[in-house]
Amino acid sequence: MTRIAIIVGSTRPNRLAPQVAEWVHEHAQQHGGAEFELVDIADQNLPLLDEPMPPAMGQYSKDHTKAWAEKIASYDGFIFVTPEYNHSVPAALKNAVDFLYAEWNNKAIGFVSYGSAGGTRSVEAWRLIAAELQMADVRAQVFLPFSSDFEDMSKFTPTEGATGALTDVFNQVTAWSEALKTLRG
């Protein structure tokens, strides 16, 4: 069975990412076609890049890195639930991604983003990062503006359009995840 991680991409207090990720996960379970699992980076307790060797070397020395590498290696694809911070990616999620290299390679990635402009600028930056990690980013994405999908910028209230867009993300990430298995052997 194809395994796809829904990555909760923020660690801030009072973060909105868990609300959004739970919504994505609920709809993923209804969609089927793959095994979807929530992965919260806040649970990983990753410090700021403390490995002595670059991740591309694959020589992890810290227990937290080894555990993170094993977890990420077990998935065929990813859906990042990512906020937009200052027109770019959240530092905590970028740090979690930067701990590893080969574990991300030849896997599909899709995005569900949120923020004042729906998180679209964050996704633009993520697409460049994904290319460097040899990931296949899918075209479909869900963007959630604070003005339409959140009540008082604190309670997630997705629109029907946002919910409908999830289907395309699930379909594309699942299809690409399955196709890329051949590259990973």
In the block, residue with structure tokens 């919504």: 23
Taking the alpha carbons of 146, 151, 155, 161 in that order, is the dihedral positive or negative? negative
Is residue 153's pLDDT more than 90? no
Is residue 35's pLDDT more than 90? yes
Q: How far apart are the first and last CA of the chain?
A: 15
Tally of structural domains, the chain: 1
pLDDT 10s digits, 55-70:
999 999 999 999 999 9
Look at residues 9, 100, 99 and name the one whose alpha carbon lies nearest to residue 50: 99
Instruction: Specify the pLDDT at position 145.
Output: 97
Q: How confident is the model at residue 185 (pLDDT cuts 50, 70, 90)?
A: confident
Pairing of strands 155-156, 150-151: antiparallel
Q: Which contacts (CB < 8 Å, 24+ apart) does range 160-165 have? A: 163/27, 165/140, 165/141
Q: To the nearest whole percent, how much of the chain has pLDDT over 90?
A: 97
Q: Residues 99-104: what's their mean pLDDT? A: 98
Instruction: Specify the pLDDT at position 103.
Output: 98
Q: Which residue has the higher pLDDT, 156 or 32?
A: 156
CATH for 85 = 3.40.50.360
Instruction: Specify the pLDDT at position 102.
Output: 98
Is residue 131's pLDDT more than 90? yes
Enclosing domain of residue 169 = 3-184
